[in-house]
Amino acid sequence: MFFPAYNDAPSIGALVESAFAVLRREAADYEVIVINDGSADHTADVLAELERRYAPRMKVVTHLKNRGYGAALRSGFTTASKELVFYTDGDGQYDVGELAKLIEKMKPDVGLVNGFKLERNDPQHRIWIGNVYNAFARFLFSIQIRDIDCDFRLIRRRLLEDMKLTSTSGTICVELVRKAELSPYRVEEVGVHHYPRLHGRSQFFRFRSLLKTLYQLFRLYMTTTIAVTVARLHSAIGWTSR
């Protein structure tokens, strides 16, 4: 289980404590990782105390500068060492206790269990922007799952190793889901609760972050389209050569 964290000092402590309580019930072999993505508040101090308390099962990875949401997730995926990898955000808007729902769906042929928000508890403008972004990304990439924007995911590490994720912004969620749906594994979905953000503000809904995400979204679309075209050409050439 890992959490990307950026200026999440007020929420990350309770989240990590809940994570250990859940994992003691659900798994015999587990770890908790927090990616501190260049936080400017007291996140580092909170994490240092948690790491002392929960050693050796807890690990903190620190980015000296803020690299972006996608880069934080990629650090988490790289650091995770167990067969199954779960992540959610460090702001505490999801209940890690609902991990049990995802584990129940994780069968041998499933690569990703993706949550979807039963009800989104955000300001109305964020709900509107999120709905537009979700619909646009699903249409552009022909994605089947209903909620790309739900960062409550359980993933098979073998699938992650095959993905070669490249995004550094929130686009990584689209990239991850799209590549999972194109893989030999099945994708499952589970409804989860979403709670109001009690501390700080979302980094995704800032103007510069949105511009960066849109840029990377179109770049991902172009590279994905090229890759699919090349694969089809190789297949056609191989077919005609026989």
For residue range 200-235, what is the model confidence (pLDDT) as tens digits? 555 555 556 667 777 777 877 777 665 555 545 555
Give the other-Cβ count within 10 Å of 172's Cβ. Answer: 24
Q: Which fold has domain 2-241?
A: Spore Coat Polysaccharide Biosynthesis Protein SpsA; Chain A (3.90.550)
CA distances from 153 to 14, 35, 105 (A): 20, 16, 11
Token pair, residue 13, equals: 């402590």
Whether residue 43 contacts residue 5, with contact meaning beta carbons closer than 8 Å, is answered with yes
**Residues near 49 by beta carbon (within 8 Å), at least 6 away in sequence:** none
Helix axes 9-26, 43-54, angle to 10 degrees: 20
Q: Quick one: pLDDT at residue 158?
A: 95
Given the structure tokens 């501190």, which residue do they identify? 36
pLDDT confidence bin for 161, thresholds 50/70/90: very high
The per-residue pLDDT for range 72-107, each reduced to its tens digit, is: 999 999 999 999 999 999 999 999 999 999 999 999
pLDDT confidence bin for 170, thresholds 50/70/90: confident
Whether residue 215 contacts residue 139, with contact meaning beta carbons closer than 8 Å, is answered with no
Burial 74-108 (b: 16+ CB within 10 A, else e): bbbbebbeeebbbbbbbbbbbbbebbeebeebbee
The answer to which of 6-15, 34-43, 153-162, 211-220 has the lowest mean pLDDT is 211-220
Q: What percent of the chain has pLDDT over 70?
A: 87
Q: Quick one: pLDDT at residue 242?
A: 45
The alpha carbon of residue 64 and the mean position of all alpha carbons in its chain are separated, in whole angstroms, by 21
